[in-house]
Amino acid sequence: MEEQEKQKKVPIFQTIKDFLLGEIQAGRWREGDAIPSEQVLAKQFDVSRMTVNRAVRELTSEQILSRIQGSGTYVAQQKYQSTLVEIKSIAEEVQTRGHVHRSELHQLERLKASDVLAHQFSVEIGEPLFHSVIVHFENDIPIQVEDRWVNPKVVPDYIRQDFTHMTPNEYLMAAAPLQGMNYGIEAQTAPRAIAGMLQITPKEPCLVLKRKTLSMSQVASIATMWHPGSRYRFAGGF
């Protein structure tokens, strides 16, 4: 009954928006494909073109769709912003240095969103989220603890993956096309549990990367990655 009440409250333009996103996410419409005209969508959903226009306009502003005057509306090409921290797998980073990567999975679970996480993911308190904790090694030396929360609405099969053979980054980049991200880097002393996994003393400083990724107009993942300051550095260039 409560679910039916929630569905009634969803604005029709959001229903159309979700439909368009669903077709793109399912791969039925790919980059460069034309989507149905506003007139066709209005007839399909039995609404005014103004309602359809709002859904299309919002997806265009979010760079999911691209409008070409006099031609139509198309699935936009994904654009990635070059930043200091590239979105790439730590396994690839280690292998680029000619070293051996391996990982240990410490946690992979389904938990209820706390008030803080609910706010960060824009979901209701108590809604399910996936949580993973993985230690990454370079030549058998721990260099990163990856503490990640994932939105099941974006990647429902995350919890079924074998992250000893594939990194979460590799899986997410394939399963949830990147729309945008934000991040921050700071120095912190590691909590006792993190220090234990990194095989350092709790007082040793760590470089901590906090990164939020967006996909299909939703928060897909929020990750906190701990690196021993004595074994790791971030680099960038032009």
Domain that holds residue 191: 90-228
What confidence tens digit (pLDDT) does each residue in 169-220 have?
Answer: 989 988 888 888 888 888 899 899 999 999 998 888 899 999 999 888 889 9
Looking at the fold, whether 112 and 221 belong to one and the same domain comes out as yes
Looking at the fold, whether 139 and 176 belong to one and the same domain comes out as yes
Q: What is the DSSP string of 110-158?
A: EEE--HHHHHHHT--TT-EEEEEEEEEEETTEEEEEEEEEE-TTT-TTG
User: Of the candidates 75, 107, 124, which is a domain's last residue?
Assistant: 75
Looking at the fold, whether 109 and 67 belong to one and the same domain comes out as no
Looking at the fold, whether 45 and 95 belong to one and the same domain comes out as no
Q: How far apart are CA 222 and CA 238, in angstroms?
A: 27
Looking at the fold, whether 208 and 143 belong to one and the same domain comes out as yes
On whether the pTM is more than 0.75, the answer is no
What confidence tens digit (pLDDT) does each residue in 76-124 have?
Answer: 865 433 334 456 688 888 888 788 999 999 999 999 999 999 999 999 9
Does any domain span residue 16?
yes
Looking at the fold, whether 108 and 60 belong to one and the same domain comes out as no
Does any domain span residue 237?
no
DSSP state of 37: P
Looking at the fold, whether 68 and 132 belong to one and the same domain comes out as no
Q: How far apart are CA 33 and CA 27, in angstroms?
A: 11
Amino acid, single-letter form, for residue 171: Y
Looking at the fold, whether 48 and 129 belong to one and the same domain comes out as no
How far does CA 178 lie from the centroid of its chain?
A: 7
